[in-house]
Structure 1
Amino acid sequence: MAQEFGGLKSDQVRRMKELETECQRLRKAIADLALDTLILQEAGRGNV
């Protein structure tokens, strides 16, 4: 496992994985908000 992450210590690898998971969660939240914004813009123009 350490080679996969360039020789990081196990606690550093664990933290890296936690951050990757959080990043994925935030990206999904941003995508959801962007979609909501587009839907509201279309509704505001009367296209829905």
Structure 2
Amino acid sequence: MSDNDTTMSTWLAEHPRMMGALFTLVLLLSSAGNAMAVSSATAGP
């Protein structure tokens, strides 16, 4: 597990643009999840 974490952090250090892209992707997916949760709510008895 530690070796995998080191490999990923090294790769991200070598590719800083991907860190921003992954962060943006996480934000978009979390926003989409919230939007889907709101749209599936049913009003009524």
Q: Structure 1 residue runs of 4+, over 3 Å off?
A: none
Structure with the larger helix share: 2
Higher radius of gyration, 1 or 2: 1
Provide the residue aligned with 1:21 in structure 2. Answer: 27
Per-residue CA deviations over 1:18-48 (Å, capped at 9, x if unaligned) read 000000110000000011xx22xxx3xxx2x
TM-score, normalization by structure 1: 0.62
**Identity rate of aligned residues, in percent?**
11
Root mean square deviation of aligned Cα? 2.1
Question: Secondary structure at 2:30's aligned position in 1?
Answer: helix
Structure 2, gaps ≥5 residues long: none
How far 1:12 moved relative to its partner? Answer: 0.4
Find the aligned partners of 1:34 and 1:10 in 2 and give their Cα distance: 37
Segments of 5+ residues of structure 1 without an aligned counterpart are: none
